[in-house]
Structure 1
């Protein structure tokens, strides 16, 4: 509570494990079963505790109750007065009362969106899902103050429950007004409100089923806690709200009507009795989730506790720019044994090659490809120039190769390994599905932006399979996202620039199905030059007939089918790899003077080879983007080794990796084609022209 007063916070955070350990868990069981029923009393308890232990902070933000009475006549108003014991109507010009709230975290079980039923309504639950759409933060009327237009009486503390609620009748006995009310905005209390659409995680969708979605409602300080594309755990209560989608159908305007028939003048009234032009069969209810807490899905209980502590101390930020703070936050989420194991790894030798051998153990061989994937998981450094221009730090990779060469296996592995990754297919994806779509909200009627695959993978990896099957118009749509890492939209009156800070991992098949070794990479894939230049690394995977390789590959595959997990024994487990990468990504290495000189020399060498031609002709033109690729790869290699400086050795390693990527597949009997081979004349056309010239000279 002291931290709440110091940071001007209004949410009281409760660790559910502490609640379960008190009084043999009886209070925790009661709250879980009837959370929504007990919520007004829990909120009132927070108000009473703040008034007792932090009276100064509480009195600064409570409304004065000497300007009007607390008389209310409706049941909703009485409930609001019960939970807001010290609230009343504030004088004009004074700020509204700070509504204190309570939030639970670290619940033992996480439910699936698909498993929620009517019996779970009102219970305290935690659900997991991927955020697909977020609305703007709007003010929600929480406690309303009304003025009677007939006698000017004031009716305060009318609680609003998911719809606009007016008093049933005027408290003045001589007036008894039921309909003529005016809302006093200055004396009413508003809270921040946001609606988020979530979709169940892809790993939880049964075969042949469509993913389920659900609306999550945020109130108070937890708004903007979840961004589109994040996998989060939401804690709160399952509620039911009327499904009024039928109201937006074309035709006669639907309206609410009152039914006062059969009631006496001195009775309390019956409120809204029905909806005109909308039958009972058409009026259904749908489930929504009223959240009190939102946390990332890939963190442990200790990390959540650390995050709550940083929120109360005012040090919580979504992206830790300070290296020390970031490393401290990562280490705080680990146990002592995990920290000791991580320290041993950091100081061990040949950690780079050992990590590569432990990556994607199901796939046999392809060490060079695994090196690139490891560096993509590490990424380079994001930088901002003095002019405010953002420099990309993410690494884009494209894997090109023959069929049955494990291209899709790499993509599936990375999507399951990375904490934030989206998998999509190029042929089944449109430009709007990859970037962002403008759709019309079914409730408000306004146009909103729904995130595409690149936005959902923000600060993660977007894996695009069958990249060569994409239409040219759809490939053009991701030009901006791959280099500037933004998505610009100007549709339906919406003009916005959205972040798409994602790494692209693409897989493509060669033209004709098999890779032609006698032509360049550009002639083997169906991609434009601008798209190719935006990839940092190209890996060509060939299906070559070699007896030793075929024998080892067959033994590896048969062993997996026979022994399953026992056939794969990587040096590091997946959990250890994830912890190491999460810690290594916190480093921000800088270039030494020797590394800078080496980088310049290696770039000059690539440009010289590109200009001279001959053996080793490049697959595409060497530009400044390849220099920036070497910078990003060098920084990623330094992160793998957990060092603060980029040495010339790391630059040489990045140069060799880039050189293997951009040089055509070399064989002794290969005739390297020119990049502009399409512009050269075929031999038969040249012979025809020479014959025509001889005939013309003979005439």
Structure 2
């Protein structure tokens, strides 16, 4: 018998002594799961004197060992020996569950409790799953010493699981048909915190998908309290829908990710963190973290010692826990380089490789990354520059918008129609589960043309797009097709994806001196114009040094003479960079500090 749906759900921290040996329902987040442990169901004993056998049932983990041989002719005391290979065993697994992040009281740390699963409940859930557990709350005494029978007054508690309900449909890893092939009801259930499978909700979702201005309506519904930033909202909206993961059948073909990564870069006070917080609330599965408070192992996976078995176990970090969802990272630029470098594998291969403390494995991290800061990374599909520009007209509209929030709680940019957050979450979940769009012939031709147009924006000299931008366009096009609940990517989907990428690049990769796009500004922080200018300075500086007979020159004198000969003066920083190039090529050597610096010619 596996009861569930008790009606009342209690929190982990609310369980007390009065609940021991009672049936309770607890919601929580799975942290870790042990390997499968063989658990004795029926013990087999044999007499060492007369070979008489007897079986003993196990009651709550305790085996009643016979004190003497049951055969009357023998009756030998303490002669019964346990025969391991003739007993009956069942699968057992010990898991650790933490209370839900949203149910933790302010200012307190999350509490966790052990779960003991048996038989068909083993390996049903994995770390990161949100669960609703129906279990018996147990308390067992703790021995002072494993070799002594003396026990402490303190009891250790755990949950003896009888039923598991998953609250996210997309995380189900066990096939219902396999678990139900013997005719019994499965011991676990898949569900959703917001039931998207109900007929009323599906009818409502289909009705929304037929709206004439669906794309604009859904974009307005994303964080309606945030003023403008329409393209950013559209990009984040497409990220939540996601593209389609593809693995081609040809031998050696790699797996192409469908998850979209978005980076928001800009001035403080431009609502970047608010957008991250909003996405974290409605994303089906995700983790919110700050760059300064995150370490490399905290994002990927770390090795810890299990308090019960004292063995080393692997615990999942933020990126692995948000597998299948969105990981929001704020203050991305405050993150250390070592921490940020672990994201490269996650963003491209969508895995986390671990080799530490004798544990060598690869974990799935199929997550979309939404970050806010100003670093330099090329793995992001969309990069938005969020600037705070002084403009009286836009400032007046922003002030009116903020005041409307206080007065009427109805933002101006919300428009006439805004979809409620619950319905929007259900719509996104339904689209991700039921729509798997493929490219049409027309869309493929448009995709090639848009990519070629993007390559031409640099005037033939600068790199304006790479194959990464082409793959980004494919992912965004698929996401926009999902938004329409369509299984085919159309021409207008590709055009909108191309527009979003082009607008993002115009803001972040536009060289202010030439007015052309240059991807090197994103990847190296230096455009082709700056590199050419630096090369010209290096040549002129080398000619100046070769023109003099002195082997050693003062740094300040060379800078003054260089500026005197040049029509356009250069700064000390530019001069230092040109000298560093010459020093790297072993033409000169710079020694000394500040005003005492000297330049020594090596050739």
Q: Assess same fold via TM > 0.5.
A: yes
CA contact (8 A) 2:287 2:327 kept: yes
C-alpha separation in 1, matches of 2:535 and 2:388: 30
CA contact (8 A) 1:139 1:192 kept: yes
1:274 aligns with 2:150: yes
C-alpha separation in 2, matches of 1:600 and 1:629: 13
Aligned match for 1:681, one of 534, 541, 559 = 534
C-alpha separation in 2, matches of 1:334 and 1:549: 43
Correspondence list, 1:239-388, <5 A:
239-243=138-142, 254-257=145-148, 273-274=149-150, 280=152, 284-298=154-168, 312=180, 334-386=197-249, 387=251
Give the structure 1 partner of residue 308 of structure 2: 443
> For residues 195-228 of structure 1, what are the alpha-carbon distances to aligned partners after superposition, in whole Å with 9 as ceiling and x for unaligned?
1111111111112111101111111111111111
C-alpha separation in 1, matches of 2:349 and 2:293: 25
Aligned match for 2:12, one of 113, 118, 128 = 113
1:116, distance to aligned residue in structure 2 (A): 1.1
Q: 1:544 to 1:159 in 2, by over 3 A?
A: same
C-alpha separation in 2, matches of 1:421 and 1:180: 58
C-alpha separation in 2, matches of 1:396 and 1:469: 19
Give the structure 2 partner of residue 661 of structure 1: 504
Q: 1:536 to 1:125 in 2, by over 3 A?
A: same
Give the structure 2 partner of residue 204 of structure 1: 103
> For residues 433-491 of structure 1, what are the alpha-carbon distances to aligned partners after superposition, in whole Å with 9 as ceiling and x for unaligned?
11111222232232211000011001111111111111111111121111111111111
1:452 aligns with 2:317: yes
Q: 1:207 to 1:156 in 2, by over 3 A?
A: same
Give the structure 2 partner of residue 535 of structure 1: 380
1:623 aligns with 2:466: yes
C-alpha separation in 2, matches of 1:289 and 1:329: 23
C-alpha separation in 1, matches of 2:147 and 2:214: 69
1:405, distance to aligned residue in structure 2 (A): 0.8
C-alpha separation in 2, matches of 1:153 and 1:351: 78
CA contact (8 A) 2:384 2:508 kept: no
Give the structure 1 partner of residue 37 of structure 2: 138
Q: 1:394 to 1:431 in 2, by over 3 A?
A: same
Aligned match for 2:265, one of 400, 407, 417 = 400
Give the structure 2 partner of residue 250 of structure 1: none
> For residues 541-586 of structure 1, what are the alpha-carbon distances to aligned partners after superposition, in whole Å with 9 as ceiling and x for unaligned?
1111222322232233233344457997852111111221122222
Give the structure 1 partner of residue 569 of structure 2: none
Give the structure 2 partner of residue 642 of structure 1: 485
> For residues 654-696 of structure 1, what are the alpha-carbon distances to aligned partners after superposition, in whole Å with 9 as ceiling and x for unaligned?
1111111223459997666752537853999888667656666
Unaligned runs of 5+ in 2: 516-520, 551-560, 562-603
CA contact (8 A) 2:168 2:192 kept: no
Q: 1:170 to 1:416 in 2, by over 3 A?
A: farther
1:604 aligns with 2:456: no
C-alpha separation in 2, matches of 1:493 and 1:666: 44
C-alpha separation in 2, matches of 1:315 and 1:582: 30
1:506, distance to aligned residue in structure 2 (A): 0.8
CA contact (8 A) 2:44 2:53 kept: yes
**3-state SS of paired residue (1:132):** strand
Q: 1:347 to 1:207 in 2, by over 3 A?
A: same
CA contact (8 A) 1:595 1:648 kept: yes
1:582 aligns with 2:481: no
When the two structures are aligned, how many residues end up with a matched partner?
530
Give the structure 2 partner of residue 467 of structure 1: 332
CA contact (8 A) 1:131 1:230 kept: yes
1:127 aligns with 2:127: no
CA contact (8 A) 2:305 2:312 kept: yes
| RMSD of aligned residue pairs (Cα, Å) | 3.5
**3-state SS of paired residue (1:601):** helix
**3-state SS of paired residue (1:612):** coil
CA contact (8 A) 2:511 2:527 kept: no
1:227 aligns with 2:126: yes
> For residues 245-297 of structure 1, what are the alpha-carbon distances to aligned partners after superposition, in whole Å with 9 as ceiling and x for unaligned?
xx7xxxxxx4424xxxxxxxxxxxxxxx426xxxx4xx622221111111123
Correspondence list, 1:530-569, <5 A:
532-564=377-409
C-alpha separation in 1, matches of 2:66 and 2:458: 80
Correspondence list, 1:409-448, <5 A:
409-448=274-313
Q: 1:170 to 1:362 in 2, by over 3 A?
A: farther
**3-state SS of paired residue (1:232):** strand
CA contact (8 A) 2:224 2:411 kept: no
CA contact (8 A) 1:167 1:178 kept: no
The alignment's TM-score, normalised by the length of structure 2, stands at 0.79
> For residues 92-125 of structure 1, what are the alpha-carbon distances to aligned partners after superposition, in whole Å with 9 as ceiling and x for unaligned?
xxxxxxxxxx212222121111111111112211
Q: 1:566 to 1:402 in 2, by over 3 A?
A: closer
C-alpha separation in 1, matches of 2:511 and 2:298: 44
CA contact (8 A) 1:396 1:504 kept: yes
1:385, distance to aligned residue in structure 2 (A): 2.2
C-alpha separation in 2, matches of 1:368 and 1:392: 23
CA contact (8 A) 2:442 2:490 kept: yes
**3-state SS of paired residue (1:439):** strand
CA contact (8 A) 1:256 1:274 kept: no
Give the structure 2 partner of residue 477 of structure 1: 342
CA contact (8 A) 1:233 1:297 kept: yes
C-alpha separation in 2, matches of 1:150 and 1:554: 94
1:645, distance to aligned residue in structure 2 (A): 1.2
Unaligned runs of 5+ in 1: 1-101, 248-253, 258-272, 319-325, 511-524
CA contact (8 A) 2:440 2:488 kept: yes
Q: 1:667 to 1:216 in 2, by over 3 A?
A: closer
